[in-house]
Structure 1
Amino acid sequence: MEPIKFNYEYSNKLRIGFIGCGAHAYRNVYPTFDYAPIDLVAVCDLNQERADLYKNRFGAKSAYTDYMEMIKKEDLDAIFIVLNFDKNGHPIYPKIVPDILKAGLPVWMEKPLAYTTKEAEELQELEAKTGQTVLVSNKRYFYPTFVKAKQILESSSFGEAASVTGRYPLTLTPFDEKLGERTGLHWFLDICHPMSGIHYLMGDVKEMMFIEHQPSGNVQTLLKFKSGAIGNLELPSTQADTSPLERYEVIGNKENVVIDNAIRLAYYRGSKGSGEYGKAPHYIGDNPLEGPVHWEPEFSLGQLYNKNLFLQGMVQSVNHFAHAVLNDRKVERATLSDAVHLTKIFDAYKNNRSGNWITIE
């Protein structure tokens, strides 16, 4: 991984317009520009007062309430877009991103991509037609723990990943027999969080089957991957608020990796001390250098790596997009294709009763 450069150290920067002046963008996206080749030219929000506030706070030159006016008037290289949901709890991106792509601009956008696979696939088709590139910031493609775990999984010693186990708290609403689908899934759209991490490590899902507990909304899901690997994902909506949010473990050939609470990574390898069963005198391997490895950040020093913007991969996501556009290449992670696959997973929960195997086309 290359060292981070500060914004002022870049001579060539991406001129961007930013659509959306909300709290999430304020906390987690605008601040990343301090560490990326980004020149914030203009901001846009339906609320002019808020747009002006963000313009002044983050150093943009102009503020708009109409994003198409911004695109027409400003000389932009790309658009960042972070929006809330509509009154039905559905993502707004499918209504706006097409205008941006047709205007000939690449897009960095927040997740979730869409409420239906049809909407997601239409955006994918438009991306291909316009020749633009879209990064959907499912951030687990950029978490330092996931990136390192991916590197381990691809090593010859780990062997082919055989299985994965994941846990992330989400609530699945009951299936509505009259409508033939589930409703009220606004927050269940966050299935893109655990599934993006699993997808990054394991590849595309081929089939899945889930069972649910109602009224808690807790879910257990079995997964079959195109690679032949298997897995399960637990969605315990009623876990304690004080519990670490998520945990993942991938098993290979006598090795495994564990990502705990997003920031701790353990790599288990090697063997315990020699000796026949029942008589082994110690549990530390004969060669300690072949034993397990544990990584976690320290929070004592003023380092970038212990900032939340880096721990959650937000700066890395922005940099991946910016450098791709500046060098006229496609993004390689958190692609629109990746997000379409995640939307298909969401659709599988939304449109199906539990207890049946579902093919993910």
Structure 2
Amino acid sequence: MSKLRMGVIGAGLWGNNHAHTFNVLPETELVGVCDLDEGRALKMKENFGAAEAFTDYRKLIASDDIDAVSVATPDFTHTPIILAALKADKHVLSEKPLATTVKEAEDIAEAAAVSKGKLMIDFHNRVNPILAQVRDMIQDGQIGLAKHGTARLSNTTFVPFEMLSWAAKSSALWFLGSHLVDVLRFILADEVTRVYAVARSGTLSAGGVDTKDFHASILEFSKGTVVTMENSWILARDNPSLVDFKLEFVGEKGQIQADPTHSGGLRRIVDGGMKFNDYIGMTPTGATRIGGFVQESIARFVDSVVRDVPLLADANDGLANTRVLAAIEESVASGIPVTIG
């Protein structure tokens, strides 16, 4: 059977996860890699044995040797790349968020509907074993109707100040809230109908990153659940993990609490204090297998293209996600609740 010939656009941290996965899976062949920085593109090509490196995504997409592309570029750059790939009838895996405006997300959803290629959004927490169990508990009715909940997905200041060179063009809402809104839609199997949100600035801008410090939002779902959501980029660096991820749902018959932040059984004490290491998202495997839900979600894209199994998250999921995030931004600007049509 011929292999699915892949191209990866974006040679950063997440692009390397994509390249590794496509290099290892027996159904795929990593043919091309692309980055605006030629040095990074060439390094990825060398590290993962790709046949060709590009600095222009349009040339990669135009290649007849590539069947599908993955988009692992910054949040605000996805739209033109995805549209070009769908127009060329390539299969597309995109990192979240699908787009950073509703109009762009609508354009992508329309293009996906007529393209011969499939489009999947890499909402990898859908295969996080902790969150998959929470969904099962909720959908099995173990706590009855979830009446209210809290959801926190935040980062220490390391992320906007050091990890992301483009942090000023995004925010904790788009970088983290995109994950969290999808997690809530996935777990509750429900849609957000109204939001009210506030945000504050000052800490990041004082350090040279001109974006919001945090967003605090109230999400109302159609079945009645109300969730208070936090996305912050100003947590102290003394936290044992640069991510803080917590969920709680209070239902008619009980509660569910989840802390997917880290695997608490693995701790190390170093000069900076106690640190937690992840052993769920990324796990060691043999040379021809992948491990952990981060790479498993990328493999689900391959399953969908090669075996025609349902997409983990499609264009409509990406559009719904963007609508909620845009409504939160609108509520911050207006100071009043925003209804999502």
Is the alpha carbon distance of 1:63 and 1:235 closer, same or farther for their aligned partners in structure 2, counting shifts above 3 Å? closer
Would the aligned equivalents of 1:210 and 1:220 in 2 still touch at CA under 8 Å? yes
Deviation at 1:55, TM superposition (A): 1.5
- Check if 1:99 corresponds to 2:98: no
TM-score normalised by length of structure 1: 0.72
Alpha carbons of structure 1 residues 144 and 359: separation in structure 2 relative to 1, 3 Å: same
2:189 aligned with 1:199, yes or no? Answer: no
1:307 and 2:282 equivalent? yes
The answer on whether the counterparts of 1:113 and 1:339 sit within 8 Å (CA) in structure 2 is yes
In structure 2, relative to structure 1, the CA distance for the partners of 1:150 and 1:12 (3 Å cut) is farther
Equivalenced residue count is: 299
Match of 2:302 among 305, 322, 327: 322
SS at match of 2:154: coil
Match of 2:220 among 221, 224, 235: 224
Question: What percent identity do the matched residue pairs reach?
Answer: 26
Q: Which has the higher helix share?
A: 2
Describe how 1:345-360 pairs up with structure 2 within 5 A: 345-352=324-331, 353=333, 355-360=335-340
* 1:53 corresponds to 2:43: yes
SS at match of 1:162: strand
How do residues 59-78 of structure 1 correspond to structure 2 at under 5 angstroms? 59-78=49-68
Cα distance, 1:151 vs structure 2: 1.5
Determine the structure 2 residue equivalent to 1:242.
238
DSSP-derived class of the 2:230 partner: strand
Which of structures 1 and 2 has the bigger CA Rg?
Answer: 1
Where does residue 291 of structure 1 map in the other structure? none
Q: Which one of 315, 318, 324 corresponds to residue 339 of structure 1?
A: 318
Native 8 Å contact 1:205 1:225 kept in 2 = yes
Query: How far apart are residue 186 of structure 1 and its match?
Result: 1.3
Name structure 2 gaps, 5 residues minimum: 157-167, 204-212, 268-277, 285-289
5 Å-filtered alignment, 1:201-216, equals 201-202=187-188, 203-212=190-199, 215=202
1:100 Cα deviation from its structure 2 partner: 0.6
Cα distance in 1 for partners of 2:33, 2:215 equals 40
Contact (CA 8 Å) 2:248, 2:258: kept in 1 or not? Answer: yes
Residue identity matched to 1:325: V
Q: Deviations over 1:73-100 (max 9, x none)?
A: 3333311121136xxxxx1111121111
Equivalent-residue separation in structure 2 for 1:30 and 1:165 (angstroms) = 35
- Aligned alpha-carbon RMSD (Å): 3.1
Higher mean C-alpha deviation, range 143-152 or range 32-41: 32-41
Q: Cα distance, 1:121 vs. partner?
A: 0.8
Deviation at 1:117, TM superposition (A): 0.6
1:259 and 2:258 correspond: yes
CA apart distance, 1:104: 0.8
CA contact (8 A) 1:170 1:218 kept: no
Is residue 187 of structure 1 aligned with residue 171 of structure 2? yes
Question: Structure 1 residue 31: deviation in Å?
Answer: 2.5
TM-score normalised to the size of structure 2?
Answer: 0.76
> Relative to total residues, which structure has the larger strand share, 1 or 2?
2
**1-structure distance, mates of 2:281, 2:95:** 23
Conserved? CA contact 1:78–1:106, under 8 Å = yes
When residues 21 and 214 of structure 1 are mapped into structure 2, their CA distance, relative to the original with a 3 A threshold, is: closer
- The alignment partner of 2:261 has SS state of coil
In 1, are the aligned partners of 2:282 and 2:294 still within 8 Å (CA)? no
Secondary structure in structure 2 of the residue aligned to 1:326 = helix
Return the offset for 1:215: 5.0
